[in-house]
A and B are shown apart, each in its own frame.
Chain A
Amino acid sequence: DAKTTQPPSMDCAEGRAANLPCNHSTISGNEYVYWYRQIHSQGPQYIIHGLKNNETNEMASLIITEDRKSSTLILPHATLRDTAVYYCIVRPYSGAGSYQLTFGKGTKLSVIP
């Protein structure tokens, strides 16, 4: 699986947009970018995923560069409850498979009042 690189920590003011970057320069054509977050020691929570087009759902937006070597997760209006560790994970898609997720250290986002 392609390796991802994320900043270890970021701060964001409450109510502002949080932009979390991820580098995945070795991503291959059949790999998707997934984002999860973990609030305190709870189970990882799925946020969003994408292949090459930008994606948006009720939680966040995902912007993937045209060369697919990096992406940005955007939380449009961060709240204190968004304080968490955010993981960017690259996962292959090629039909059947176990597709276990490989977690890195992620980015610790602190939303500040």
Chain B
Amino acid sequence: AQSVTQLGSHVSVSEGALVLLRCNYSSSVPPYLFWYVQYPNQGLQLLLKYTSAATLVKGINGFEAEFKKSETSFHLTKPSAHMSDAAEYFCAVGGYSSASKIIFGSGTRLSIRP
């Protein structure tokens, strides 16, 4: 069985500060891992994905995530937060083709302080 846990339902950082959103997963097979972003009243948009290639994955809008097998983690980071980064972020773990096996975390709402 696969599962994903996002630590912290709400994270607040100052503009220009480091963003760190935490995600830990559980999977009995090599996982595919994803981070999605959701702006208010909109659908989800893929930020980045890990599919067993490079462990450091770069995504859109300056975000990146590092796959650490020993820690079963896939934390999302951005060196310098912008006001436009305020949104909800979801970590997801999935299989190889079927979304029925893609499990979403409960989400982390990121707020940016001016």
- The answer to whether A binds B is no
Query: Which residues of B come within 8 Å of A, CB atoms?
Result: none
A-side residues, CB < 8 A to B, are none
